[in-house]
Amino acid sequence: MDPLDRIDEIISMVETARSVPMSRTNFMFDRGEMVAILDELRAELPGDLRRAGALLEERDKIIDAGKREADRIIGEGETEHARLVSVNEITVSAEHEGARIIAEARAEAQRLREEVDDYVDTALANFEQFLTRALGSIERGRDKMHALREIGTFQGEDHERPLPF
């Protein structure tokens, strides 16, 4: 019989026992019968208590194993979180650095383009001035040649004289 059923049986026996005359709290009960019932209860309890103790130990082991597994999973999650945050920070940092380098390269390329344009413009302007002076010299030379031809410097007797230009 279950120990709790035994306890319920003892309570029922106490409730139905005859009261001692002139007392509401004292009762009469067969001592031998009560001792026999309590001995049976004592005999049943150790096995049930051992089973309950074993169940409690098993429960504690399961709870401890669950806590260790939960701690392991949490630790792995925190490690993975830290890794992902680190990877993300590295990626963001690299993207910012890459954007900065590209912006610097574009600015440097634009500066060099402007510098080359200025150099080429200056060179062409100098060449234009040189050509303009050369063209002016050529025109003056042709004009002198035409003028000399008209005044006749190229006629017969003045062969010996050097040309004025």
pLDDT tens digits along 41-77: 777 777 777 788 888 899 999 999 999 999 999 999 9
157 falls within a domain: no
pLDDT at 27 over 60: yes
39 falls within a domain: yes
Which of the listed ranges 9-23, 24-38, 78-92, 115-129 does the model predict with the highest average pLDDT? 115-129
165 falls within a domain: no
Q: How far apart are CA 28 and CA 35, in angstroms?
A: 14
Whole-model pTM: value is 0.38
63 falls within a domain: yes
CA 140 to chain centre: 79
Query: Which range marks the domain in which residue 27 is found?
Result: 3-149
162 falls within a domain: no
Half-sphere exposure of 122 (CA within 13 A, CB side): 6
160 falls within a domain: no
The total number of structural domains that make up the chain: 1
77 falls within a domain: yes
158 falls within a domain: no
Confidence of residue 2 (pLDDT cuts 50, 70, 90): confident
